Structure 1
């Protein structure tokens, strides 16, 4: 019987479930995706698939091209990189280190580089602080950190800035590439100044970011991580003119970079973000706050234990004594301006300058300035003052050019401000008279006195007290700063001779031609005047104030220039100078300068107050030092209630009291005149000549006696 009408049995038995339930396992085959019947949807899907294929097709090819171009750029850059040892010092100019008279550093100028350090020679705390602050994945990326860049862009956009403004996400390697300016060195023919070059190197743009990345990748291929970090530690600018870790450690803490503790290392590492603004010499508190943030980062990343971090926060870094005081800024600027420009202001070498500065005396002057203005000048006053202290040979021991004693590059009123000298000029009038044979006991009439000045009319000098003393000696006239006798003596001695004597003593400013010369209408600087008074103290020889004693290149022992004294040629006889010292001592003992007295020590000096009290002076000396003080307003506003015998004399006394601490008293080199009669007026039989206003009467009296 055939089976043509039957269904053929399957060739294999259907699968059964293992449980034996007889039910077949459900098929896992995915059902075919149903195509949308909507033609618009099908069109969009087709377009997207085509776009993806296009993007992918172009993208991977472009990626290959970019990788090839980048690889070629990195390879080329690699061939241009020098040995890393040559990249340590990237300064365009040199530095000047200034030493005081004892050989101690007190100031730096120019671009300071303390010497090459390596990752192995610096303090490990500094190395760790830099990595923790600037690039925590430094040891794991190839020079560019995509994670860091993405994070920086996110932060910038969230804070409303452009993607490249603010945080840059740069690695230490990229920062080093920027410090190297991608291999472009400073060229005077291309950039107008070093500042323009630095600005160019720091410029940010997409293209420069690409160059930075290529240069960083090449550096990672050429150098080891330690070598890159070494370059960075040596080239980074760390504020206050310090380039590199060693210069910063010496500048701020007076120690080697190898000796930095965690708090000091954190402070230096914290400067990398804003070296000028965060420099501890500019704002110590702000620098300490930044350092505490760095210490926190070091703790988070395991570079410091909890105890170490707590100890560092409890004892923040402090400046060295020299860095904290910032003593002698005005003095340092003056020395830099007085030396050869190519070895000071524009030096390309590292220069060592030894100076005459005495830091003890400098502190005394600065303290006297601050205490006087704090205690005796109203807070809102804009009055200024200046102080100069020097030895009798012209060696300047201290200089304060204004009330703010910690500035650098500021207007120096001790050397730059030319002001009328007032009665402080009178010693040169009497120096001329003494040189011509006058005596401290020579009598002159203080009386109403008028002169006809060609081109100016009638001039009648008046005394500050508005009265007249009658017959007075030259000593009395100087002690009481009486004007009429000074004018008479100047005319009798000869105005041209007075100008010559003052000029020979070192007053180089233009001196007035008329008789008002005797009253100090000419202008001079405090430094000039103090130097001229030093000539009186040293016995009558001219003095050139000086601060530089030796200049040499760093590493060399033979000085390029040196100086041992500022004493020049003799101006007046020593006997005349000694008589003048006596007359000036009476200014302090019984005259207008009594506020300048020092206990158990002889002092000579002279006050000076100009017309309308626009300037007030006191200049004087002991057997050891000469000091000058000027006080006034920069805009010539008259002082209120201030004369040379007032606040300037008090500042002088405060300064010199501190200067002479521990020094034994010495007598002044003065010659006292022969004893006079007990009468306050010279007797008729005395031979002391009388100087009157009428020149004919003067001649007759000199011929026939009084």
Structure 2
């Protein structure tokens, strides 16, 4: 049977069969299961107890990471802000608001500094490699590995502070070099005179430690790390760090202590400089050399441990520690430097905003001679408990001051200067001006004068009866003898004869600027004066009768400039006061004071010397002022409270200090004759006697007690 022809549609049976097959093959759709809520888990008693804590912990964790993100963003913003505000390092290496003064001696050598010194900008690459490594090894050995702060260092510092009973932020700070630089920059806050009265107050405020300030310091430090390279940060540190003795930066310190550049310091010197960072004043070698050496040895150990120097270099540096320069070691002329600073205008000295260089008249050899002499006499001739003070001035005949000591502490500065500020009675050291007046009027050193009892009626006071120092009278004697024996009666009689007003005028023209007594006691030196004035007046006698203006400043210029802004050249010699012949005769008379009078302790074998002693009532003041052919030396001794000394006269310890000073000054020199004339015969032919109104012997006890003991 033939198959039916195929068509496009399947047969009904096929369709039915296929549909059933498909129905059987297709799985029945699954019913969607309904979700049932899980029954709450039973916590139990422990669960309920812990529930508040676990809930709070989950809340804290959720908040912490969000807060951490916010804090990180704020810190990052702060770091970027500070980084954008950082100025070029050249603008911040020297932030002093005042300048400095460097003082040079007569030969051009530095002997003193005033104000904060800045030696000029140096870089981390230009300083000695030893110095570079010493600073890193000492202050921040992880400097090249951190990002401005060291959490490890901070944690260690907090642990040390707490273990030593301090607060966590007191004592050790764990600061990196970057943080120290941030403090030096006061976290970017500049000095404002309206806010801080002084730079010191500003720096103290910058060093205050609070939680907020430490946070700001950390952010500022990281900003520096973004803005500057590590070597840039070190460069700022090398220039801004304070290193004691007025030194700002390592260049100034290297010059101050060692007289060399920071590029040339060796391992021992580098270690000593780096050691100053811990405590600049305590470890300054000018204050305590042994302490500075001990600190330097610690720094050398750190450098060796960290591989910056070899063990052999460390041993060599310890065996040969750093030594101060000659100028730093001498610390000479502190009183002199203070006095010279007063001779220039304040805007170029005390208040200068520039770096100034002052050339002076100081001779460091002579200055050392004066310091050595005074110290030696006090150590050998006075009890250790003595409170007596002394002052010494050495001056050329033209008024140029070559040396000055203003007290027993010969290294002091910035203190009371007894050579220039103490106004004391000169006693018989005033008498040469009486004789200068008489000689200028035509008197001769060989003229006779009567050393006899004298009574003078003082208007408003009654009769005054002075006495000689030895309370004896010698009758007719020469003016020369009257001076070298320092007789009071002849001096008073001569002053009355030539006229007190004229004596006063001569003394003032010679440079005694103090108010001089109006009565007859003027002759006994009862008017106060300074050692500087008296020494300058004696220089006028030495130079032949012309007044001098004592001076120490030669010229003043800005650092780096060649032309001076001011000078005192030619200011020493002033107008003539007495004739040269009178000055030469007076010099002869004063030479006899040293040769056979009250000043014999001032003698130096082979040298012609002249001088005059002076002792006031009860030895409250003792003086010796004298000269050779080149220099005047003045010495004063006494108590600051003007109390009496025991057994001290001008011809005693002051003369010995004078002799010791002059001996050092003339060491190695050939003796020179004094500029003097030996007098001829007397020209008056008689004896100068009392021609005033004489009382009938009444003695005024009060005046006699005050003035009668003046002499010697």
TM-score (norm. length: structure 2): 0.90
Residue in 1 aligned with 2:282? 277
Once residues 238 and 606 of structure 2 are traced to their aligned partners in structure 1, the CA distance between those partners, rounded to angstroms, is 56
Once residues 49 and 339 of structure 2 are traced to their aligned partners in structure 1, the CA distance between those partners, rounded to angstroms, is 80
Once residues 515 and 685 of structure 2 are traced to their aligned partners in structure 1, the CA distance between those partners, rounded to angstroms, is 34
Once residues 286 and 123 of structure 1 are traced to their aligned partners in structure 2, the CA distance between those partners, rounded to angstroms, is 23
- What are the equivalent positions in structure 2 for 1:65-80 lying under 5 Å apart? 65-80=70-85
Whether 1:494 and 2:517 are equivalent positions in the alignment is no
Superimposed CA distance per residue, residues 291-330 of structure 1 (whole angstroms, 9 cap, x where no aligned partner): 1111111122111221211221222212111111101111
Note if contact 2:157-2:172 (Cα within 8 Å) is conserved in structure 1. Answer: yes
**1:653 CA displacement:** 0.6
Superimposed CA distance per residue, residues 612-665 of structure 1 (whole angstroms, 9 cap, x where no aligned partner): 001100000010111000111111121111100011101101100110112221
Q: Is the partner of 2:449 in helix, strand or coil?
A: strand
Once residues 130 and 543 of structure 2 are traced to their aligned partners in structure 1, the CA distance between those partners, rounded to angstroms, is 55
Note if contact 2:371-2:405 (Cα within 8 Å) is conserved in structure 1. Answer: yes
Structure 1 unmatched ranges of 5 or more: 1-34, 677-685, 698-706
**1:48 CA displacement:** 2.5
Q: Is the partner of 1:175 in helix, strand or coil?
A: helix
Superimposed CA distance per residue, residues 551-605 of structure 1 (whole angstroms, 9 cap, x where no aligned partner): 0000110000112231111111111111111111111111100111111111010
Once residues 273 and 457 of structure 1 are traced to their aligned partners in structure 2, the CA distance between those partners, rounded to angstroms, is 71
Q: Is the partner of 2:477 in helix, strand or coil?
A: strand
Q: Given the alignment, which residue of 613, 619, 627 partners 2:625?
A: 619
Note if contact 2:104-2:112 (Cα within 8 Å) is conserved in structure 1. Answer: yes
Note if contact 1:616-1:632 (Cα within 8 Å) is conserved in structure 2. Answer: yes
- What are the equivalent positions in structure 2 for 1:12-91 lying under 5 Å apart? 39=45, 41-91=46-96
Whether 1:562 and 2:559 are equivalent positions in the alignment is no
- What are the equivalent positions in structure 2 for 1:478-627 lying under 5 Å apart? 478-565=483-570, 566-627=572-633
Q: Is the partner of 1:529 in helix, strand or coil?
A: helix
Q: Is the partner of 2:635 in helix, strand or coil?
A: strand
Superimposed CA distance per residue, residues 533-563 of structure 1 (whole angstroms, 9 cap, x where no aligned partner): 0011011111111000010000110000112
528-537 or 374-383, which moves further after superposition?
A: 374-383
Whether 1:375 and 2:380 are equivalent positions in the alignment is yes
Q: Is the partner of 2:169 in helix, strand or coil?
A: coil
Note if contact 2:428-2:615 (Cα within 8 Å) is conserved in structure 1. Answer: yes
Residue in 2 aligned with 1:315? 320
**1:38 CA displacement:** 5.8
Residue in 1 aligned with 2:171? 166
Residue in 1 aligned with 2:249? 244
Whether 1:692 and 2:692 are equivalent positions in the alignment is no
Q: Is the partner of 1:259 in helix, strand or coil?
A: coil
667-676 or 619-628, which moves further after superposition?
A: 667-676
Residue in 2 aligned with 1:468? 473
Residue in 2 aligned with 1:447? 452
Q: Is the partner of 2:143 in helix, strand or coil?
A: coil
Residue in 2 aligned with 1:668? 674
Q: 1:52 to 1:662 in 2, by over 3 A?
A: same
- What are the equivalent positions in structure 2 for 1:220-259 lying under 5 Å apart? 220-259=225-264
**1:36 CA displacement:** 10
Residue in 2 aligned with 1:194? 199
Residue in 2 aligned with 1:420? 425
**1:696 CA displacement:** 8.2
TM-score (norm. length: structure 1): 0.91
Note if contact 1:630-1:648 (Cα within 8 Å) is conserved in structure 2. Answer: yes
560-569 or 642-651, which moves further after superposition?
A: 560-569
Residue in 1 aligned with 2:640? 634
**1:37 CA displacement:** 7.9
Note if contact 2:443-2:684 (Cα within 8 Å) is conserved in structure 1. Answer: no
Q: Given the alignment, which residue of 652, 661, 664 partners 2:658?
A: 652
**1:44 CA displacement:** 3.5
Q: Given the alignment, which residue of 85, 98, 112 partners 1:93?
A: 98
Once residues 36 and 590 of structure 1 are traced to their aligned partners in structure 2, the CA distance between those partners, rounded to angstroms, is 123
Report the count of equivalent residues.
653
Q: 1:687 to 1:85 in 2, by over 3 A?
A: closer
Q: Is the partner of 1:148 in helix, strand or coil?
A: helix
Once residues 544 and 54 of structure 1 are traced to their aligned partners in structure 2, the CA distance between those partners, rounded to angstroms, is 87
**1:432 CA displacement:** 1.0
Superimposed CA distance per residue, residues 378-437 of structure 1 (whole angstroms, 9 cap, x where no aligned partner): 221111111100100000000011111111212111111111100000001111111122
Once residues 243 and 200 of structure 2 are traced to their aligned partners in structure 1, the CA distance between those partners, rounded to angstroms, is 16
Once residues 376 and 228 of structure 1 are traced to their aligned partners in structure 2, the CA distance between those partners, rounded to angstroms, is 57
Once residues 339 and 592 of structure 1 are traced to their aligned partners in structure 2, the CA distance between those partners, rounded to angstroms, is 39
292-301 or 607-616, which moves further after superposition?
A: 292-301
The structure with higher relative contact order (CA 8 Å, sep 6+) is: 2
Aligned-CA RMSD value: 1.4
Once residues 271 and 599 of structure 1 are traced to their aligned partners in structure 2, the CA distance between those partners, rounded to angstroms, is 49
**1:455 CA displacement:** 2.8
Whether 1:181 and 2:186 are equivalent positions in the alignment is yes
Q: Given the alignment, which residue of 330, 333, 349 partners 1:325?
A: 330
**Post-superposition, which runs of at least 4 consecutive aligned residues in structure 1 deviate over 4 A?**
35-38
Superimposed CA distance per residue, residues 60-119 of structure 1 (whole angstroms, 9 cap, x where no aligned partner): 111111111111112121221111121111212111110000000111110101111111
- Higher-Rg structure is 2
Once residues 71 and 537 of structure 2 are traced to their aligned partners in structure 1, the CA distance between those partners, rounded to angstroms, is 75
Residue in 2 aligned with 1:111? 116
Note if contact 1:462-1:483 (Cα within 8 Å) is conserved in structure 2. Answer: yes
289-298 or 626-635, which moves further after superposition?
A: 289-298
Q: Given the alignment, which residue of 358, 367, 376 partners 2:363?
A: 358
Q: Given the alignment, which residue of 102, 108, 125 partners 2:130?
A: 125
Note if contact 2:457-2:693 (Cα within 8 Å) is conserved in structure 1. Answer: no
